[in-house]
Structure 1
Amino acid sequence: MGFKEELQKLSVQVNERMVHISNEETTKQSLIIPFIQVLGYDVFDPLEIKPEYVADFGKKRGEKVDYAIFKDGSPIIFVEAKSVNEKLSNHDAQLCRYFNAVTEVRIAIITNGTEYKFFTDLTADNVMDETPFLIVDLLNLRESDFETLLRFKKESFDKEFLVRYAEELVYTSTLDNSLKELFKNPDDEFIRYLIRDVSSSRITSSVIERFRPIVKKAISNAVIDIVSKGLYQQETESNAIVGKEDELEAIKAAGEPTANINSTKRAVVTSEDELNSFEYIKNVLSKADKDITNLNYKDTTAYFSIYVVNTTKWFLRLNIDGSIKNVITKLPLTEIETIVSEFKTELAPKSFGESRVIINAVDDIKKLDQLIISCYEKLMN
C-alpha cells in the first residue's frame, strides 16, 4: 500500500473512531499514534519515539512534550497532543515553550488527532512562529497534502529542506492572498501603474475611478487567458533550449552519434531493460532492509533516474540503451573505485553526477549490489 492510500485509510479510521473518544489519552492511542506510524516511525522503538519528553525552559522545570520524534539519535519533531474534542488555538503557547527549550528541533506539531498544525521558526531563530506554516485536516485531505506530508516521512526527512519549504509555503500563501485581493479590488497605485502608458491625460482621482472597472475586466480576461493557455507554456519552451545542451551531453555519454541531434527529436521510450533494472534495484534494497515505499523512477532522453520521494533525491542514473552502458552515481570517484574494482570507473559528464561505472551489458547491474546500497545510504544519511 502506498503512502497516499495509507493516509486515505487513516482518514476513514479517524472519522469512524473519533465519535467514540472522549479524552486525550484515547486520542493519542487511537488517532495520533497511527498517524506517526504512517509517517514511517516505529512507535514501539524508544530510540525513535519518546513519550513525555522533558523539555525544560528557563525557570520552568519538568516541562514535557507528549511525543519527541528522533532520528539518528537527535530529536527532530515535537508533537503536542490534545483531546479530539479540544480546539487547538488555545494551546499554541504551551507548545512554543517546548520548541524554544530544544534549539535543535525545527518542526513542532500540535494536533487533536484530526487537525494537525505544523510550526517552525521563520521569524526568529529558535523561537516558534505564532502561526503554523501548514494545517492538515485528516477528515478533509487535499491532493496537495499527500505530497506535502511525504516530506515528513522518516526516510525523506530533511530538517533544513523542510524549513526552506515552510518558508516557501508561507510566502506563497501570503502572496496568493495578496494577489487575490489586489485582483479583486485593485488599489489606486496599482491602477495608476497599469494605465500610466495607456492614458495620455494626467492621472487624477477621477481618471483612476474611470479606469477601475476597465482594469478589473482586463485582470479577469488575463487570468482566464493564462489558465486556458497554461501558465508554464513559455517556461517549457525556454527549458527546451537549455535541455538540448543536456541532451547532447547525454548522447555523447552514451556513445551515440550526435550529428543529427538538431534535426531529430528524441522521444522518451522506457525500455524493458530499464524497467527490469528498476525492479532488480528495488529487490536489492528490500533484501537489505531498506525502505522502498517511495522508490520511483523517471525516464528522460538523458538517463533513467531512480529516486526517493521526488526527482531531486536521485541516487542512481542508468544509461543502458546506448552503446556505452554506464551507471551514474553521486559518490566520489575514489569511493566507487573501491566498491566496484572489477569495473572501469570515471568521472561522470558535467551536471549528470559525480562518478559513473562503465558496464559491458545490462546484466552487469546484478554485480553492483553493494554500489546500489551505498548510493541509497548516501542519499538517506
Structure 2
Amino acid sequence: MDLIDRIADLAKRIDSMGPNLQTEEATKNALIMPFIQNLGYDVFDPSEVVPEYTTDHGVKKGEKVDYAVKKDDEIIMLFECKKYGAKLVAEHASQLYRYFSVSDARFGVLTNGQQYMFFTDLDRPNQMDEKPFFSIDLQNFERHEVEELKKFTKNSFDLENILNTASDLKYTTEVKKILGKELDDPSDDFVRFLSAQVYSGRFTQAVMEQFRGIVKRANRQLITEKINDRLETALAHPLSEDKEILHTDVNPDEAQGDNGIVTTEEEIEAYNIVKAILRSKVEVGRIVMRDTKSYCGVLLDDNNRKPICRFHFNSKQKYLGLMKEKIESREPIDSLDEIFKYSDQLVATVEEY
C-alpha cells in the first residue's frame, strides 16, 4: 500500500475516533503512533522510536519530548504532541524549540494527530525556526503534500535532500498563502497594482471596488480556462499504446507509463458527463479527475476527502461508484449515457461538501 493510501486510511480513523479522543495520551495511541508507523518506523522498537525521550536544557533537567525518531542510531526527528482538536499555537512550538536546541535532531514535529507541522533550523543553525517549512492536515491534504511527506519515511529519508528543498518549500507555502488570500479577497494595494496595468483614468473609491470584483472574476475565469485547455488538449490526442495523457491532477511520476495506470477515452468521456451534470451547481474547474490502477475517481477541489464518484471500467461489466457520506455504492451501467440517470445522486454528493 502506497503512503497516500495509508494516510487516507488514517484520515478515516480520525473521522471515526476523533470525537472520543479527550486526552493527549489517547491521541498519541490512536493517531500519532500510527502516523509514525506509516512513515516506516517501528513504534515498538526503541532503537527506532523512543517515547518520553529525555532532554536537558540549561537549568531545566529531565525535560521530555513525546517521541524521538531514530535512524542508524541517530535522532532525526522530535515529536511534540497535543490532544486531538487542540489548536497548535506558538507556546506549543516554544516547548519543541527547547528540545530541538539540545538534541542532534534537525527536524521537530508539532502535532495534534490531525495537523503535522515540520520545523528545522533554516534561519539560524541549531535554533528551530519560528515557522514550519512544511505542514499537512490529514483531513484536508493534497497529493503533492504526501509526496513531500514521503521524504521523511524510513526508506527515503535523506537529510541533505530534505534540507536542500526545505527553504524553497517554506517560502513557496508562504507565497501561496499570500496569493490565495489576495485572489480570494484582494487588498487595496493588489487591486491598485493590477488596475494600473490596464486603467489610466482617475482612481476613485468606486473604481477601486469595481476592479476588486474584476480581479476576483478574472481569477476564477483564468483557472477554469487553464483546466479546460488541458482537457481539450487531452481529448484532441487519443491514447495509444505508447503514449498516455498527462492530466493536471495526475502525479507526473505516475504518468510515465511504468505504473500500469492508463486513462481511457471512456473514462474521459464519463468525466465530461459528470462535469456537465454538475456545472449548474459548481464551477467546472473544481471538478477534477484522478486516475488509479483500480478505478478512476472524480473529486471536488482535487481533494481526496471529497470524492464525487468513481468509474470502474476495467472489467466487462462497468460500474459507476456513487458516494453517500463518503461510502461507495456501485451501480452497474451498460453505457455511459446511463450516468445521467444518477444526476440527482451526484448533485446531492457535491451538496454534502
Please state which band the TM-score falls in when normalised by the shorter chain.
0.5 to 0.7
Distance 1:151 1:268, change over 3 A: farther
Match of 2:242 in 1: 269
Does the residue aligned with 2:127 lie in a helix, a strand or coil? coil
Structure 2 distance, partners of 1:215, 1:148, is: 37
Give the corresponding residue for 2:142. 143
Structure index of larger Rg = 1
| Whole-angstrom distance in 2 between the partners of 1:15 and 1:217 | 37
Partner of 1:325: none
Given that 2:115 and 2:137 are in contact with CA atoms closer than 8 Å, whether structure 1 keeps it comes out as yes
CA offset at residue 173 of structure 1? 3.1
For 1:76-129, what per-residue CA distance to the aligned partner results, in whole angstroms no more than 9, with x for missing partners? Answer: 110112333644424221111001112x42211122323322222233222222
Aligned residues: 242
Label 1:188 to 1:112 Cα distance change in 2 as closer, same or farther (>3 A): closer
TM-score for both structures, normalised by structure 2:
0.56
Aligned-residue offset at 1:59: 2.7
Q: What SS class does the counterpart of residue 41 from structure 2 fall into?
A: coil
For residue 136 of structure 1, report the CA deviation from its aligned partner.
3.1
Amino acid at match of 1:34: P
Instruction: For 1:2 and 1:226, locate their aligned partners in 2 and report how far apart those are by CA, in whole Å.
Output: 34
Per the alignment, residue 47 of structure 1 pairs with: 47
What one-letter code is carried by the residue in structure 2 that aligns with 1:71? Answer: K
In structure 2, do the counterparts of structure 1 residues 228 and 49 end up closer, same or farther at CA, with 3 Å as the change threshold?
same
The residue type paired with residue 222 of structure 2 is: I
2:110 match: 110
- The answer to whether the Cα contact below 8 Å between 1:186 and 1:212 also exists between their aligned partners in 2 is no
* One-letter amino acid of the counterpart of residue 160, structure 1: E
TM-score normalised by L of structure 1: 0.52
Alignment CA distance shift 1:161-1:232 (3 Å): farther
Distance 1:213 1:17 in 2: 46
Match of 1:96 in 2: 97
Q: Is the 8 A contact 2:40 2:153 kept in 1?
A: yes
The residue correspondences of 1:251-270 to structure 2 (distance < 5 A) are 269=242
C-alpha displacement at 1:208, in angstroms?
5.6
Deviates more, 1:22-31 or 1:41-50: 22-31
Amino acid at match of 2:159: K
Q: How does 1:1-381 map to 2 (within 5 A)?
A: 1-84=1-84, 86-89=86-89, 90-102=91-103, 104-138=104-138, 140-144=139-143, 145-183=145-183, 184-187=185-188, 191=192, 195=196, 199=200, 206-207=202-203, 209=205, 211-213=207-209, 215-216=211-212, 219-220=215-216, 222-230=218-226, 269=242, 299=256
1:50 match: secondary structure: strand
> 2: CA distance between counterparts of 1:187 and 1:51?
50
Question: Shift of the alpha carbon at 1:15?
Answer: 3.4
AA partner of residue 100 (structure 1): S
In structure 2, the residue matched to 1:316 is none
What SS does the aligned partner of 1:91 have?
Answer: helix
What 5-or-longer segments of structure 2 have no aligned partner? 234-239, 244-252, 260-353
SS in 2 for 1:56: strand
Q: Measure how far apart 1:38 and its partner are.
A: 0.7
Q: Which runs of 5+ in 1 are unaligned?
A: 238-266, 271-295, 306-381
Aligned-partner SS, 2:60: coil
In 2, distance between residues paired with 1:13 and 1:72? 31
User: What residue is the counterpart of 1:377 in the other structure?
Assistant: none
Q: Per the alignment, in what secondary structure is the counterpart of residue 161 of structure 2?
A: helix
